[in-house]
Structure 1
Amino acid sequence: MRAIVYDATGGPEVLRLVDRPVPEPGPGEVRVRLVVSGVNPTDWKSRSGATSGPLAYPEQTPHHDGAGVIDAVGPGAAGFAVGDRVWTFLAAASRAGGTAAEFAVLPVNRVAPLADGASFDVGASLGVPAITAHRALTVAEDGPARLAPGALAGRTVLVAGGAGAVGHAAIQLARWAGGTVIATVSGPAKAALATAAGAHHVVNYREGDPAAAIRALAPDGVDVVAEVALAANLALDLAVIRSRATIASYADNGGASLTLEVRPNLVLNTRLQFLLLYTVGEAALAAAAEDIGAALADGALPVGEEHGLPLVRFGLEATAEAQRAVEAGAVGKVLVDVAPA
């Protein structure tokens, strides 16, 4: 099979295309024939060594997210059969084989059914972004632990960075669950994407008084913030949240450290929730996969520019360029075409 591998951390140039034997699934595992692989910031950060340190395996295939068809089932791999369409998540976490390959062997708790009406592009765009968004929307003290139609009814969600992949998924999932969605963006082009994703209101945080604009839309305050840049946005978040609101921080864009004033947060009973999928726990991952599957079945998670998430495509042999694009801040979702459907 064709696969992308690296045997040392470094720049994109460490990635190389090789031929490797097709792996066989063991107990509790399935083999997925990949059609599309999704690229996330965590992929290039791991490859560079910035977040993962030395390689745990002699050779690593990158990428957590993908979509394809099961073509082999190991002993005891319940719930899946040959021919099932699936999407994957955290495929390369504590494993040598990610989705930048024609085949990947994964435990059954790292694959989920891909609804008949959902394309492989949609499937490969889920994973890290959608599960992160789900977690951000389900950690509030007064909010739901699971998402379903009506679960966020009467609640206002602020999505920081509404044109990003996680922001896009947060908008779609919150809208599907009945919430009122306000997205912040940096300009008109990204405002158009957040609106296309389903945001009820969009605020340009670089113009005027964004706190006043958000407060005008949510006079009682925001219930949940899905936050991509906590250090940069904390003052804005505290200015617009209600008492007992939750700020769910999933990235360190805009700064890796901050100074937190105790008194304003005591007054608000603020819940500041940090989240990282690698350590979030199996129960949270399973709940997210199940709820995302329900949203997929309802057609609530489309991708493409007309749905607020432009697709930027590369071939498998150009995986290094795909990772460069993500590292450079490409707007939309970067996908790697592994093989024809």
Structure 2
Amino acid sequence: MKAVVYEDTGGPEVLRFVERDLPEPGPGEVRVRVAVSGVNPTDWQARSGSGHAKQFAEITPHLDGAGTIDAVGEGVDGSRAGQRVWVFMAAAGRPTGTAAEFAVVPADRAVPLPEQAGFDVGAALGVPALTAHRALTVAEDGPRRLRPGALDGAVVLAAGGAGAVGHAVIQLARWAGATVISTVSGPEKARLATAAGAHHVVNYREGDPAAEIRAIAPHGVDLVAEVALGANLALDLAVLRARGTIATYANDGGRPVELDVLRNMVLNTRLQFLVLYTAGPQVIAAAVEDVSAALADGALPVGEEHGLPLTRFPLDRTADAHRAVEAGAVGKVLVDIAP
């Protein structure tokens, strides 16, 4: 089979397009013929060695993807062969991800993909959708599971709504009944956040964004899903209600976080850091179940018209796909594996 691998960490140039033997699924595993592989920031960070210890001599990158199960291992229901699936965390703790024609993954990391959902949708789920679910279910006064009506009456602020996680936050929060505000850096990203389903969009680079958000939510925002904590914390605290939650999944820009302890004490702020690798199996299983329900309801479409532009590369240009993500490509970067 054709695959992309790297042996040494470094820039995109360490990625090699190679031929490898067809892998066989072991007990509790399935083999997926990959149609589309999704690229996340954590994929290039692992490849570069940034914050990720390299565990294997050779690695096929990418956590997420979508395709069709073509073989199952011992202990897996044989009827799953031929099932369309979306794959998440394929390369987490394992040497082989979805940047290959076939990927072997634990059976519970290959989730049924509804017939009405294309492989592009499936490949765009994974890390972004599960991260968004986690961000939306950590509030002290909020739900631990998402379903229609679970966030009725809540106001959610999706920072960076034009990004892949921000896009999923908007879609899942709206599906669950929240009023959704998104902050963006300009008109084009405002258009994308609106297309994703945000009820209100605020340009944080113009005017008085805190006053604009407070005009929409006079009692304050219940939950902030934050992508750039260092840059945005002052704005978040200016609009957060008492006992509100800031769920942060990234610190884009790398600005140091300066914490006013007294101010947060007075607000009873909940500051929740999150990453999927250590979220725990029960949290992940719940997120997969809820995201699957939203997917079945048609709540998670992708593409320019739905607020998540798709940038595509063939498998032999995976290095260029990584360069695009590193450069901050808006939307979702996908690698096409099979027609």
SS at match of 1:236: helix
Counterpart in the other structure of 2:320: 321
2:50 aligned with 1:30, yes or no? no
Number of residue pairs matched? 339
SS at match of 1:162: coil
Counterpart in the other structure of 2:39: 39
Counterpart in the other structure of 2:127: 128
Distance of aligned partners of 1:79 and 1:253 in 2 relative to their CA distance in 1, 3 Å threshold: farther
What are the equivalent positions in structure 2 for 1:16-95 lying under 5 Å apart? Answer: 16-53=16-53, 55-78=54-77, 81-95=80-94
1:173-216 Cα distance to aligned partner (Å, 9 max, x none): 00000000000000000000000000000000000000000000
- Give the counterpart letter for 1:25 in structure 2: P
Counterpart in the other structure of 1:215: 214
Offset at 1:79? 8.8
Indicate conservation of the 8 Å contact 1:230/1:254, yes or no. Answer: no
Counterpart in the other structure of 1:109: 108
Offset at 1:258? 1.3
TM-score, normalised relative to structure 2: 0.99
Indicate conservation of the 8 Å contact 1:304/1:311, yes or no. Answer: yes
2:15 aligned with 1:15, yes or no? yes
Offset at 1:56? 1.2
Taking the aligned partners of 2:245 and 2:163, their CA distance within structure 1 comes to 20
Taking the aligned partners of 2:241 and 2:79, their CA distance within structure 1 comes to 44
SS at match of 1:133: helix
Greater mean deviation of Cα atoms: 255-264 or 119-128 = 255-264
- Give the counterpart letter for 1:217 in structure 2: I
Taking the aligned partners of 1:291 and 1:80, their CA distance within structure 2 comes to 23
What are the equivalent positions in structure 2 for 1:276-295 lying under 5 Å apart? Answer: 276-295=275-294
SS at match of 1:37: strand
Structure 2, unaligned runs of 5 or more: none
TM-score, normalised relative to structure 1: 0.98
Indicate conservation of the 8 Å contact 1:173/1:300, yes or no. Answer: yes
- Give the counterpart letter for 1:124 in structure 2: A
Taking the aligned partners of 1:327 and 1:26, their CA distance within structure 2 comes to 34
Counterpart in the other structure of 1:227: 226
RMSD: 0.9
Structure 1, unaligned runs of 5 or more: none
Distance of aligned partners of 1:32 and 1:319 in 2 relative to their CA distance in 1, 3 Å threshold: same
- Give the counterpart letter for 1:200 in structure 2: H
Counterpart in the other structure of 2:190: 191
